Amino acid sequence: MFNLILVVVGGGIGAGIRHLTNMGALRLVGPNYPWGTMAINIVGSFVMGLFIAIMMRRGGSAELRLFVATGILGGFTTFSAFSLDFATLWERGAALPAFGYALASVIGAIIALFLGLWLARSLP
C-alpha cells in the first residue's frame, strides 16, 4: 500500500508540473501546435535518463524509484496526450505537421534520454 501511495503522490506532482508547463507554452507560443507536450516528452525523457543512470551508479531504494520514475516522471510525461495531439492535428487536415510532431517528439525524447544517461555517467 505504501508503494501505491508513493506512485499516486508522485504522479500528482508530475501531473501538476505538466499542467503548468502546458499553460506556460500556450501563453508563450499559442494553441496552434502542441509545443508544450513535445517539450514535456523530451525533457521528461532527459530527466528519466539522468535519474536512472544516477540510481544505477549510486544506488537508491525501490521506493525512490517508484516515487520519481513511476510517479513524478510518469505523471509528467504525456504520451497519451501526445497521441491525442497527433490525432487532433491529423483531423484538422494538418498531416505534415502531425508527422513532424510525431518524429520530433519520439526522436527528440530518445536522444534526450541517451543524453541524460551520458551526462549522468560522465559526472564524477
Question: Residue positions in the annotated binding site?
Answer: 74, 77
**How far, in Å, CA of 97 to CA of 3, rounded?**
40
Using alpha carbons only, give the angle 50, 82, 27 rounded to the nearest 5 degrees.
Answer: 90
Please, what sign has the CA dihedral across residues 25, 28, 31, 32? negative
Chain centre to alpha carbon of residue 53 = 16
Binding site feature residues for Na(+): 74, 77
